[in-house]
Amino acid sequence: MSKKEIISFPYNNQAAKIQIQTIEDQDYFSLTDMARSENPRTDLVIANWLRNRNTIEFLELWEQEYNPNFNPLEIEGFKNKAGSNAFSLSSKQWISATNAIGIRSKSGRYGGTYAHKDIAFEFGTWLSPKFKLYLIKEYQRLKQDEAVRNKIEWKVSRVLAKANYHIHTDAVRQYLVPGKITHTKKEGVFFSSEANLLNKAVFKLTAKEWRIQNPNLEGNIRDYATTEQLVVLANLESLNSKLLEWDCDFEQRLAILVSTAEQQLEILREKNTTKKLKK
């Protein structure tokens, strides 16, 4: 679980706080927190919801859609028993029997039952329509706020890349462009070639290849870059400037830049380093 957030809204004259945790880039809501607004015996609330036939059918459809390792062998048995007084089904039993991923259960002080947002909204409907409406509205607000933060983060990285652009173009002009065509339109060919060298290293595509693959998109390849790619791009502009100063040929520079880009992207994605830009 890599990220934890809390949404809060009034429910039944009290503040309901629902934890959201990110699991493999998907948002999972705490069913335990949701159930607590109705009954302190949260395990019973969730178990009562799970023993409902409609719930089992919904979960089955969701798992079939998103879980390639879903095991449906015991589903028919659950459906046949659903609703009977003797039938009970806990979240851990459901996960163990079906290899489900839509619901996650964790023991301990900070544990509980979490469900993918699709399933959490279904659970909210079962609890009460009012609860689901509040849940959806608050979640939408949370995602809008997150989108704004991500946009700011992306802009910071774009500024970094543009700042290093001048360092890079000055190096290209000094070490590649013949003196007689400096500060003329003809030197643009050299700038374009070096820009595409960086594009190949970071994006594996030249600007022209990207446009051919994306004829309906406006802007250029860098306008659709991730934050990590923009950070690496800024780094490579400085590195390529030095490689030009050291008189490395094109093939040498390409190999070094590709290797560096792959290494840096892997580190940034693993460590979530760029998230610190938000602060």
- Tens of pLDDT, residue by residue over 112-148, are 899 998 898 889 888 877 777 776 777 777 677 666 5
Same domain, 168 and 263: yes
Same domain, 244 and 154: yes
User: Which residue, 96, 127, 158, sits at the end of a domain?
Assistant: 127
Asked, for residue 144, whether it belongs to a domain, the answer is: no
Asked, for residue 117, whether it belongs to a domain, the answer is: yes
Same domain, 176 and 250: yes
Asked, for residue 251, whether it belongs to a domain, the answer is: yes
Q: Flag the least confident range among 120-129, 156-165, 213-222.
A: 156-165
Same domain, 42 and 87: yes
Highest mean pLDDT: which of 24-33, 97-106, 185-194?
Answer: 97-106
**DSSP alpha helix (H) spans, the chain:** 31-36, 42-50, 53-66, 75-81, 91-98, 117-127, 129-175, 188-203, 207-213, 227-245, 250-271
Range of the domain at 235: 149-278
How many structural domains comprise the chain?
Answer: 2
User: Which residue, 127, 159, 177, sits at the end of a domain?
Assistant: 127
Q: Per-residue pLDDT averaged across 172-188, rounded?
A: 82
What the block records as the tokens of 74 is 């015991």
Asked, for residue 239, whether it belongs to a domain, the answer is: yes
What the block records as the tokens of 53 is 């036939």
Same domain, 102 and 26: yes
| pLDDT score of 259 more than 90 | yes
Asked, for residue 249, whether it belongs to a domain, the answer is: yes
pLDDT tens per residue across span 234-256: 889 889 988 998 999 999 999 99
Q: pLDDT at position 2, please? A: 47
> Is residue 257 very low, low, confident or very high in pLDDT (cuts 50, 70, 90)?
very high
Q: What radius of gyration, in Å, describes the C-alpha atoms of the chain?
A: 27
Asked, for residue 213, whether it belongs to a domain, the answer is: yes
Q: Give the 3-state DSSP-derived string for 21-51, with helices as H, strands as E and coil as C.
A: EEECCEEEEEHHHHHHCCCCCHHHHHHHHHC
Q: Give the type of residue at 275.
A: K
| pLDDT score of 155 more than 50 | yes
Q: pLDDT at position 1, please? A: 42
Q: pLDDT at position 253, please? A: 93
Same domain, 176 and 274: yes
Same domain, 174 and 269: yes
Please say whether the beta carbons of 142 and 7 come within 8 A. yes
Q: Cα separation of 231 and 212, whole Å?
A: 25
Burial 209-221 (b: 16+ CB within 10 A, else e): ebeeeeeeeeeeb
| pLDDT score of 12 more than 80 | no
The model's pTM: 0.49
Same domain, 43 and 91: yes
Same domain, 164 and 110: no
77 by Cβ neighbours in 10 Å (0-12 / 13-18 / 19+) ranks as exposed
More confident residue, 34 or 99: 99
Asked, for residue 244, whether it belongs to a domain, the answer is: yes
| pLDDT score of 278 more than 50 | no
Asked, for residue 136, whether it belongs to a domain, the answer is: no
Q: pLDDT at position 180, please? A: 79
Please say whether the beta carbons of 210 and 200 come within 8 A. no
Highest mean pLDDT: which of 105-119, 154-168, 265-279?
Answer: 105-119
Q: How many CB atoms lie within 10 A of CB 28?
A: 23
Mean confidence (pLDDT) of the chain? 81
Same domain, 14 and 106: yes
